[in-house]
Structure formats: C-alpha cells, structure tokens
Amino acid sequence: MSDKIVFIGVLASSNSIQDLKAFRGYLCIENGVITGVGANETFEDLKGKGKFDDFQIQYLEPNQFLMPGFVDCHTHAPQFPNIGLGLDRPLLEWLDKYTFPLESRYKDVEFAAKVYDRVVQRLLQNGTTTACYFGTLHKEGSLELAKSAIKHKQRALVGKVSMNIKNDAGYYNATRKELNETEEFVQCILHYKNELVQPVVTPRFAVSCDTELMSGLSQIARKYDCHIQSHISENRKEIEHVLKYFSGYQTYSEVYDRSGILTKKCIMAHAVYLSEKEMEVFARKGVSVAHCPASNTRLRSGLCPVRKLLNNNVVVGLGTDVSGGDSASILDAVRRTMDVSTHLEFQGNPEHAINWREAFYLATLGGSHSVESGS
C-alpha cells in the first residue's frame, strides 16, 4: 500500500463541547501523519494541480465517516484478564479480593508482555488511539506496556503504580524503593525518545500511599515535567477512610493538594463526590477528571455529576477503567455517560443530561485536553 493516501468523504470532529462539525472533504496522510484536511472544493482544486498524483485515493462509502481517535483517559492494563469478572464487591473489598492478587502476577515480565501486547491491540481495535494507562507496582513489567504501545504505534501515557501502605496481598513497596523505581521508570521511558509514549507518575490513591510517598512522587513529576494520575472520591467508604487516616484534612482533594499533586498535568479518575469547593480547586489548578461511568456503576460507586463538573469549568475526559469497568470501548463509555447523566436528571437534577454531541467531545477533544503535553 502507498505510504501516501487521501480519504474523501464525510469528516466529523468537535471544535468545542457545543460545536460538532461534519462536512464533506478530504484528509491526507503521508507516512502515518495527517498532512492535510479540507473541503471537497479544495481537494478538487489541489487534485487539478497534481498534488495527489502519487497518492492512493480512497472514497468512503456513503455510510462511512472519519473522526478523531478516541482518548481513554483512564484504564488499568493489567486488569484486562479480569474484565467482566468479580464485580460483586464494592471498591475497597474488590481491590483486596480480586485486583491486588491479579496485579501481583505482573512480577512475571513474560506474563506482563503477553497481556499488555493484547491490551494495546484491543484498545486500538476499539478506536482508542490514545490511552492513559495504569500498570502495576513492577517497573520491568510496566515497561513492557510502554514497549507494546510503541510497537503498535498507540499514543500512550504509561504509569508504574506506586503504593506503600500494607495490604493483605503484600502488594506494596517500601517508600525509598518506590521513589527510586518510579524515577528509574520515568527515565527509561524518556530514554526511549518515542514521541507517542510518555511516562505518567502514578500514586494509586490516598488509601495506598502516605504523604511522604505522594510528596516524593509529585516532585518526580515536576522534575521531569510529566503527568501524574490517581483516583479521587470514587466511593463513600474510600472517602471516609481517607479522611480518617489523614486527620486534620478537610477534604480528599486537600490530601493530594498538600502533597503537590494537583497541577494542570494531573488526571484524577472518578471524582463522583467532589464538593463545589473541590471542583473550584480543580478548575483553578487545571486538574482534569477522567469520568468512568462503567466502573462507577458496576462497582456501585455512584453517579458522577459530569454536568456540574463542566459547569464548574473542570476539564473532563472519559475512561473505560477496566476492570472496574466491564468494557474496553470508549464508544461504550459515550453511551454510559449519556445514560448516567440522564438518570441524574430523572432524579431531579435539571439539565444534567449530556447529549451525544457533548459525549462525543468528551471522548475525543475533551480527553485530549486532559492528556496533552503542554506544561
């Protein structure tokens, strides 16, 4: 096949949350990079001038259209073997019973490489061209995830998970080891010098990390100017646990903020129960929320008020959050975002429903604002 191809047909994309555009036009690709987009008339004009003489010309069928790739702002690559399984427990019990034991297996680098290669391909098959991944505690295993993304040319933010609080599965590290390995992990990925794949510092959540670890991790993110990701306010018991453990803090957000985690390079998954005051902090600091409707429902965590986040100027993208979420598809997250927001409206919250144009935006441009690399 030619390394120069031009598609002719309907192109659809969001300019903003209110504005989804679809028009007849062309999109040309040279050596895997989009080098031109425009209206049909421009195509005819350029074609007449010989611009596409050495291009393969592909006319889309009447029922086909082109759109931007989906952005999955939050998923757990190592949890894919559990997809659709073990959804009978709420978050904290689910982590202990099913998730930490599975993630512990990624000490085996061969197992990690095998699973991750399939995960990356599965997301690409679902139209996800950019993904923000949680790996596991293991540095070598998580590097395999980055290698798979590079191999399959997926844009990816890849995180080695950090945890230093004891749990029954023995799945945590001592603080110093965790900080050293995270820094080494970041350096390794930067050393790959691959323009599609970046490291993301990944304190699991405040139930699994103390302030010393979280502060050290936020310093690493700052030192290497990389993203940082975690979970916040997914489940009521989780919030209770955090506020009990971190006594003297008024809110969950404050725990992360005082550790230096809340920056414009921060992506927080869930945010189901943020107060308006916390939303204001998120908006002011430029923190993004990865909305994960599938896992919020399947783990019975709650209904995230996306409209309220948007009205408070918080940047929102979508996440599949496998395996709390039971689908690898962002198209499925689009539908569930619309459903959950409509259920909130049924419950007496006026204008909470997210329409399909808005959900399309969250799945594409909204997500890309969360993961973009501007500092």
* Residue 171: its H or E element: none
* Spatial distance between the Cα atoms of 37 and 53, rounded to a whole number of angstroms: 17
C-alpha atoms less than 13 angstroms from C-alpha of 368 in its C-beta half-sphere? 15
**Is residue 142 within the footprint of ligand XAN (CB under 6 A)?**
no
**Is residue 295 within the footprint of ligand XAN (CB under 6 A)?**
yes
**Is residue 138 within the footprint of ligand XAN (CB under 6 A)?**
no
Q: Which of 76, 155, 291, 352 binds ligand XAN (CB under 6 A)?
A: 76
Our CB check for ligand XAN shows the closer of 326 and 358 to be 326
Which tokens belong to 92?
């904290």
Say which residues have a Cβ less than 8 Å from residue 196's Cβ, sequence separation at least 6: 149, 150, 153, 154, 155, 156
**Is residue 128 within the footprint of ligand XAN (CB under 6 A)?**
no
**Is residue 336 within the footprint of ligand XAN (CB under 6 A)?**
no
**Which range in 91-99, 174-182, 195-203, 279-287 contacts ligand XAN by CB under 6 A?**
91-99
Q: Are 243 and 252 in contact (CB under 8 A)?
A: yes
**Is residue 360 within the footprint of ligand XAN (CB under 6 A)?**
no
* Spatial distance between the Cα atoms of 372 and 357, rounded to a whole number of angstroms: 21
| Residue 348 C-beta: closest distance to ligand XAN, Å | 27
Q: Which of 324, 341, 362, 365 binds ligand XAN (CB under 6 A)?
A: 324
**Chain residue whose CB lies nearest ligand XAN:** 324
Q: Which of 183, 234, 257, 326 binds ligand XAN (CB under 6 A)?
A: 234
**Is residue 321 within the footprint of ligand XAN (CB under 6 A)?**
yes
Q: Name the phi and psi angles at 232, rounded to 5.
A: -145, 140
Our CB check for ligand XAN shows the closer of 68 and 324 to be 324
Q: Are 234 and 94 in contact (CB under 8 A)?
A: no
**Is residue 233 within the footprint of ligand XAN (CB under 6 A)?**
no
Q: Name the phi and psi angles at 29, rounded to 5.
A: -125, 130
Farthest-apart Cα atoms in the chain, separation: 71
* Spatial distance between the Cα atoms of 106 and 351, rounded to a whole number of angstroms: 44
| Residue 92 C-beta: closest distance to ligand XAN, Å | 8
Q: Which of 138, 139, 160, 204 binds ligand XAN (CB under 6 A)?
A: 204
Residues that bind ligand XAN (CB under 6 A): 76, 91, 95, 99, 204-205, 231, 234, 295, 321, 324
